[in-house]
Amino acid sequence: MRHTLPIAPQFYVTAPQPCPYLDGKMERKLFTALQGDSAAKLNNALSQQGFRRSQNVLYRPSCADCAACLSARIKVADFQPTKSQKRTQRRAREIIRKSSSPWATEDQYDLFRSYLDARHADGGMADMDVYEFSAMIEETPVRSRVIEYFEPRNNALIAVSLTDVLKDGLSMVYSFFTPHMAANSLGTYMILDHIDIAREASLPYVYLGYWVPGSAKMGYKAKFSGLEVYSGGQWCPMSDPESFQPDNHPLSTDPIAEQVANIQLPDGRPP
Protein backbone atom coordinates (compact mmCIF):
# COMPACT_ATOMS: atom_id res chain seq x y z
CA MET A 1 0.00 0.00 0.00
CA ARG A 2 1.37 3.38 -0.97
CA HIS A 3 0.56 6.52 1.00
CA THR A 4 0.64 9.97 -0.56
CA LEU A 5 1.89 12.65 1.78
CA PRO A 6 0.34 16.13 1.55
CA ILE A 7 2.54 18.64 -0.23
CA ALA A 8 3.32 21.66 1.92
CA PRO A 9 2.65 25.01 0.24
CA GLN A 10 5.66 26.96 -0.94
CA PHE A 11 6.09 30.52 0.31
CA TYR A 12 7.63 33.39 -1.67
CA VAL A 13 8.42 37.07 -1.17
CA THR A 14 7.58 39.90 -3.54
CA ALA A 15 10.09 42.52 -4.63
CA PRO A 16 9.91 45.76 -2.60
CA GLN A 17 7.74 48.55 -3.97
CA PRO A 18 6.48 51.89 -2.60
CA CYS A 19 4.05 51.49 0.29
CA PRO A 20 0.53 52.78 -0.49
CA TYR A 21 -0.14 53.62 3.17
CA LEU A 22 2.98 55.21 4.70
CA ASP A 23 5.08 57.76 2.84
CA GLY A 24 8.71 56.90 2.33
CA LYS A 25 8.25 53.21 3.14
CA MET A 26 8.68 50.17 0.91
CA GLU A 27 6.26 47.26 1.11
CA ARG A 28 6.99 43.57 0.64
CA LYS A 29 4.63 40.60 0.89
CA LEU A 30 5.00 36.97 1.90
CA PHE A 31 2.67 34.85 -0.24
CA THR A 32 1.68 31.37 -1.28
CA ALA A 33 -0.61 29.86 -3.93
CA LEU A 34 -4.14 28.90 -2.96
CA GLN A 35 -5.15 25.89 -4.99
CA GLY A 36 -6.12 22.21 -4.89
CA ASP A 37 -8.44 20.22 -2.67
CA SER A 38 -7.06 21.79 0.52
CA ALA A 39 -7.58 25.41 -0.57
CA ALA A 40 -10.44 26.07 1.86
CA LYS A 41 -8.53 24.58 4.83
CA LEU A 42 -5.43 26.61 3.97
CA ASN A 43 -7.48 29.79 3.59
CA ASN A 44 -9.06 29.22 7.00
CA ALA A 45 -5.76 28.43 8.73
CA LEU A 46 -3.78 31.31 7.26
CA SER A 47 -6.58 33.87 7.66
CA GLN A 48 -6.33 33.16 11.38
CA GLN A 49 -2.64 34.06 11.13
CA GLY A 50 -3.02 37.44 9.47
CA PHE A 51 -3.09 36.42 5.80
CA ARG A 52 -5.48 37.79 3.18
CA ARG A 53 -6.76 36.33 -0.08
CA SER A 54 -6.38 37.92 -3.52
CA GLN A 55 -7.75 35.59 -6.22
CA ASN A 56 -5.73 32.37 -5.87
CA VAL A 57 -3.02 33.83 -3.63
CA LEU A 58 -2.75 34.25 0.13
CA TYR A 59 -0.45 37.04 1.32
CA ARG A 60 0.72 38.85 4.43
CA PRO A 61 2.90 41.98 4.76
CA SER A 62 6.53 41.15 5.37
CA CYS A 63 8.32 44.47 4.97
CA ALA A 64 12.06 44.58 5.60
CA ASP A 65 12.07 47.55 7.99
CA CYS A 66 8.47 48.07 9.09
CA ALA A 67 5.71 46.10 10.82
CA ALA A 68 2.97 48.72 10.84
CA CYS A 69 0.31 46.74 8.92
CA LEU A 70 -1.89 44.77 11.30
CA SER A 71 -4.58 42.34 10.19
CA ALA A 72 -7.90 43.39 11.77
CA ARG A 73 -11.14 41.61 12.58
CA ILE A 74 -14.28 42.39 14.55
CA LYS A 75 -15.35 40.03 17.31
CA VAL A 76 -19.08 39.98 16.66
CA ALA A 77 -20.05 39.17 20.26
CA ASP A 78 -18.18 42.24 21.53
CA PHE A 79 -19.41 44.72 18.94
CA GLN A 80 -21.63 47.59 20.07
CA PRO A 81 -22.58 50.24 17.49
CA THR A 82 -21.82 53.86 18.20
CA LYS A 83 -24.49 56.57 17.89
CA SER A 84 -23.04 57.48 14.50
CA GLN A 85 -23.16 53.87 13.32
CA LYS A 86 -26.77 53.55 14.49
CA ARG A 87 -27.63 56.62 12.40
CA THR A 88 -25.91 55.00 9.42
CA GLN A 89 -28.04 51.88 9.89
CA ARG A 90 -31.22 53.94 10.10
CA ARG A 91 -30.41 55.88 6.93
CA ALA A 92 -29.78 52.61 5.09
CA ARG A 93 -32.77 50.66 6.39
CA GLU A 94 -34.43 50.56 2.95
CA ILE A 95 -31.33 49.42 1.05
CA ILE A 96 -31.84 46.04 -0.59
CA ARG A 97 -29.18 43.34 -0.15
CA LYS A 98 -28.68 40.50 -2.62
CA SER A 99 -26.13 37.69 -2.35
CA SER A 100 -24.93 35.57 -5.25
CA SER A 101 -22.11 33.40 -6.52
CA PRO A 102 -18.90 35.26 -7.51
CA TRP A 103 -19.83 36.43 -10.98
CA ALA A 104 -18.75 39.81 -12.41
CA THR A 105 -21.22 42.10 -14.21
CA GLU A 106 -20.98 45.29 -16.24
CA ASP A 107 -22.88 47.21 -13.54
CA GLN A 108 -20.35 46.09 -10.94
CA TYR A 109 -17.44 47.20 -13.12
CA ASP A 110 -19.03 50.60 -13.83
CA LEU A 111 -19.50 51.12 -10.09
CA PHE A 112 -15.95 49.92 -9.43
CA ARG A 113 -14.55 52.45 -11.94
CA SER A 114 -16.52 55.30 -10.39
CA TYR A 115 -15.27 54.32 -6.95
CA LEU A 116 -11.63 54.14 -8.04
CA ASP A 117 -11.75 57.40 -9.98
CA ALA A 118 -13.17 59.22 -6.97
CA ARG A 119 -11.27 57.53 -4.14
CA HIS A 120 -8.12 55.80 -5.45
CA ALA A 121 -7.24 57.36 -8.78
CA ASP A 122 -3.51 56.96 -8.05
CA GLY A 123 -3.74 53.52 -6.42
CA GLY A 124 -2.50 50.15 -7.58
CA MET A 125 -5.88 49.23 -9.08
CA ALA A 126 -6.38 52.46 -11.04
CA ASP A 127 -5.58 50.83 -14.39
CA MET A 128 -7.59 47.63 -13.83
CA ASP A 129 -9.62 46.79 -16.92
CA VAL A 130 -12.84 44.79 -17.13
CA TYR A 131 -11.01 41.49 -17.67
CA GLU A 132 -8.81 41.99 -14.61
CA PHE A 133 -11.87 43.01 -12.62
CA SER A 134 -13.67 39.83 -13.68
CA ALA A 135 -10.66 37.78 -12.57
CA MET A 136 -10.64 39.52 -9.17
CA ILE A 137 -14.29 38.60 -8.63
CA GLU A 138 -14.48 35.17 -10.24
CA GLU A 139 -11.08 33.52 -9.66
CA THR A 140 -11.65 32.04 -6.23
CA PRO A 141 -10.86 28.48 -5.15
CA VAL A 142 -12.81 28.89 -1.89
CA ARG A 143 -16.38 29.60 -0.84
CA SER A 144 -17.00 33.20 -1.85
CA ARG A 145 -20.06 35.37 -2.32
CA VAL A 146 -20.75 38.66 -4.05
CA ILE A 147 -22.99 40.77 -1.83
CA GLU A 148 -24.67 43.61 -3.72
CA TYR A 149 -26.63 46.53 -2.31
CA PHE A 150 -29.32 48.37 -4.25
CA GLU A 151 -31.07 51.72 -3.89
CA PRO A 152 -34.77 50.74 -3.60
CA ARG A 153 -36.32 53.64 -5.52
CA ASN A 154 -34.63 52.88 -8.84
CA ASN A 155 -32.97 49.51 -8.14
CA ALA A 156 -29.54 51.06 -8.82
CA LEU A 157 -26.46 49.16 -7.69
CA ILE A 158 -24.75 51.31 -5.05
CA ALA A 159 -22.31 48.99 -3.23
CA VAL A 160 -20.61 45.61 -3.62
CA SER A 161 -18.53 43.36 -1.37
CA LEU A 162 -16.59 40.30 -2.47
CA THR A 163 -16.76 38.17 0.67
CA ASP A 164 -15.20 34.84 1.62
CA VAL A 165 -17.05 32.55 4.00
CA LEU A 166 -14.48 31.20 6.44
CA LYS A 167 -14.88 28.56 9.11
CA ASP A 168 -14.87 31.23 11.80
CA GLY A 169 -16.22 34.27 10.03
CA LEU A 170 -16.70 36.45 6.99
CA SER A 171 -13.70 37.97 5.23
CA MET A 172 -14.41 41.16 3.28
CA VAL A 173 -11.91 40.60 0.48
CA TYR A 174 -12.73 43.80 -1.41
CA SER A 175 -15.61 46.26 -1.30
CA PHE A 176 -16.55 49.37 -3.24
CA PHE A 177 -19.49 51.75 -3.44
CA THR A 178 -20.85 54.77 -5.25
CA PRO A 179 -18.97 57.97 -4.37
CA HIS A 180 -22.14 60.02 -4.89
CA MET A 181 -23.80 59.02 -1.62
CA ALA A 182 -21.17 60.15 0.88
CA ALA A 183 -23.78 61.10 3.47
CA ASN A 184 -24.94 57.48 3.62
CA SER A 185 -21.51 56.17 4.75
CA LEU A 186 -21.89 53.08 2.58
CA GLY A 187 -18.47 51.69 3.47
CA THR A 188 -19.39 51.73 7.15
CA TYR A 189 -22.84 50.35 6.38
CA MET A 190 -21.44 47.33 4.53
CA ILE A 191 -19.29 46.43 7.54
CA LEU A 192 -22.28 46.83 9.87
CA ASP A 193 -24.35 44.63 7.57
CA HIS A 194 -21.62 41.97 7.49
CA ILE A 195 -21.63 41.97 11.29
CA ASP A 196 -25.38 41.28 11.13
CA ILE A 197 -24.88 38.51 8.55
CA ALA A 198 -22.14 36.89 10.65
CA ARG A 199 -24.30 37.08 13.77
CA GLU A 200 -27.23 35.45 11.94
CA ALA A 201 -24.92 32.66 10.73
CA SER A 202 -23.34 32.18 14.19
CA LEU A 203 -19.92 33.16 12.84
CA PRO A 204 -17.74 34.86 15.47
CA TYR A 205 -15.66 37.24 13.33
CA VAL A 206 -15.72 39.70 10.45
CA TYR A 207 -12.27 40.08 8.89
CA LEU A 208 -11.58 43.58 7.55
CA GLY A 209 -8.12 43.31 6.03
CA TYR A 210 -5.27 45.47 7.28
CA TRP A 211 -5.32 48.39 9.67
CA VAL A 212 -2.29 50.68 9.57
CA PRO A 213 -1.69 53.06 12.49
CA GLY A 214 -0.81 56.46 11.09
CA SER A 215 -2.59 55.88 7.77
CA ALA A 216 -5.66 58.06 7.20
CA LYS A 217 -6.91 55.60 4.56
CA MET A 218 -7.28 52.88 7.17
CA GLY A 219 -8.52 54.98 10.08
CA TYR A 220 -12.18 54.00 9.67
CA LYS A 221 -11.50 50.42 10.83
CA ALA A 222 -10.50 51.62 14.28
CA LYS A 223 -14.00 53.10 14.78
CA PHE A 224 -15.58 49.66 15.29
CA SER A 225 -15.79 48.24 18.78
CA GLY A 226 -14.79 44.63 19.35
CA LEU A 227 -11.81 45.11 17.03
CA GLU A 228 -8.86 42.73 17.30
CA VAL A 229 -5.50 43.04 15.54
CA TYR A 230 -2.96 40.33 14.76
CA SER A 231 0.31 41.37 16.40
CA GLY A 232 3.24 39.33 17.65
CA GLY A 233 1.71 36.08 16.43
CA GLN A 234 -1.61 36.48 18.24
CA TRP A 235 -4.91 38.34 18.10
CA CYS A 236 -5.06 41.24 20.56
CA PRO A 237 -8.11 43.32 21.55
CA MET A 238 -7.76 46.94 20.47
CA SER A 239 -9.51 49.08 23.03
CA ASP A 240 -7.49 52.22 22.32
CA PRO A 241 -6.24 52.88 18.75
CA GLU A 242 -3.87 55.55 20.05
CA SER A 243 -1.96 52.88 21.98
CA PHE A 244 -0.86 51.32 18.67
CA GLN A 245 1.87 53.24 16.91
CA PRO A 246 3.42 52.36 13.53
CA ASP A 247 6.26 49.92 14.21
CA ASN A 248 9.05 51.26 12.01
CA HIS A 249 12.02 49.84 13.89
CA PRO A 250 14.51 48.24 11.45
CA LEU A 251 14.54 45.04 13.55
CA SER A 252 10.75 44.80 13.91
CA THR A 253 10.33 42.13 11.23
CA ASP A 254 11.60 38.59 11.75
CA PRO A 255 13.73 37.00 8.99
CA ILE A 256 11.67 35.38 6.24
CA ALA A 257 12.84 31.86 7.14
CA GLU A 258 11.71 32.37 10.73
CA GLN A 259 8.35 33.77 9.64
CA VAL A 260 7.69 30.77 7.42
CA ALA A 261 8.80 28.31 10.10
CA ASN A 262 6.26 29.78 12.52
CA ILE A 263 3.29 29.40 10.16
CA GLN A 264 0.87 26.68 11.23
CA LEU A 265 -0.64 24.70 8.35
CA PRO A 266 -4.11 23.07 8.60
CA ASP A 267 -2.64 19.70 9.64
CA GLY A 268 -0.42 21.30 12.27
CA ARG A 269 2.80 20.75 10.35
CA PRO A 270 5.30 23.56 9.66
CA PRO A 271 5.83 24.50 5.99
Q: What is the pLDDT, as a whole number, of residue 164?
A: 98
User: Which amino acid is present at 123?
Assistant: G
Question: At 117, phi and psi to the nearest 5?
Answer: -60, -35
Please name each of the domains of the chain with its CATH number. 11-69+247-261 (no CATH), 72-243 (3.40.630.30)
- pLDDT one-digit tens code per residue, 54-64: 999 999 999 88
User: Nearest-5° angle of CA 116, CA 119, CA 122?
Assistant: 70
Q: How many CB atoms lie within 10 A of CB 10?
A: 10
| pLDDT average, residue stretch 64-89 | 93
- pLDDT one-digit tens code per residue, 90-145: 999 999 999 999 999 999 999 999 998 887 656 667 788 999 999 999 999 999 99
CA 138 distance to own-chain centroid: 16
Q: What is the pLDDT, as a whole number, of residue 251?
A: 61
- pLDDT one-digit tens code per residue, 10-60: 999 999 999 888 888 889 999 999 988 899 999 999 999 999 999 999 999
The DSSP H or E segment spanning 258 is: helix 256-261
Q: Percent of the chain, pLDDT > 70?
A: 91
CA 26 distance to own-chain centroid: 20
| Burial class for 38, CB neighbours closer than 10 Å (0-12, 13-18, 19+) | middle
